Amino acid sequence: MVLDPAAFPVAFNRLPAFGIRRWRQAIEYRQFKSELICRLDLAAHLVNDGALQNAVRNMSFNIEILKKSAIKELATILYLTLFGLIILPPAIYVVGKFVFGAYGGAGVFAFYGTLLRAFLDAEPVVLFLILSPYLIWQLARLTAWGFRRTS
């Protein structure tokens, strides 16, 4: 249920415009929070974890913090994907040259071109290779979270 300020014209004639905007944002925030808590509470009931249920009920959601977290996570994805696109292929070429010998193509640029072509064709192995820095970062974060939770 979304409340509309137009339904209360007498009360809102006295409020400045920024008051109505903040009121709408507060209503949307409460609806978002209650819907998220309901979904998380349902998930906690499905796994039947009392500690998780209590944690979900006591969570506080701040939209600004969620936005900052999302922007930070997107920046992390971007930086680590660029690392996987720019730094990782030449490193793989150099290691491969020492371990296996010369590459069948014309050199590092031919290797890089082959890799980019396969990336644009969405070959799973190449996608895994390019995204591996981000996957390793997430694995490290998950491991740290697991150690913090058990200690």
Reading the block at residue 15, the tokens are: 């409020």
Mean pLDDT of 27-46: 63
Q: How confident is residue 12, by pLDDT bands cut at 50, 70 and 90?
A: very low
Reading the block at residue 144, the tokens are: 């740290």
Residues 6+ apart with CB under 8 A from 28: none
Q: How confident is residue 110, by pLDDT bands cut at 50, 70 and 90?
A: confident
User: CA 30 to CA 24: how far, in whole Å?
Assistant: 10
Residue 96 has pLDDT above 60, yes or no: yes
The DSSP code sequence of 4-38 is -GGG-HHHHHSS-HHHHHHHHHHHHHHHHHHHHHH
Q: What is the pLDDT of residue 109?
A: 85
Lowest mean pLDDT among 37-41, 74-78, 109-113: 37-41
Higher per-residue confidence, 148 vs 38? 148
User: CA 63 to CA 113: how far, in whole Å?
Assistant: 42
Higher per-residue confidence, 113 vs 3? 113
Cβ 93 vs Cβ 114: under 8 Å = no
Q: Residue for token digits 């925030």? A: 29
Cβ 14 vs Cβ 33: under 8 Å = no
Higher per-residue confidence, 65 vs 146? 146
Cβ 61 vs Cβ 33: under 8 Å = yes
What is the average pLDDT value for the chain, to the nearest integer? 75
SS3 call for 79 = helix
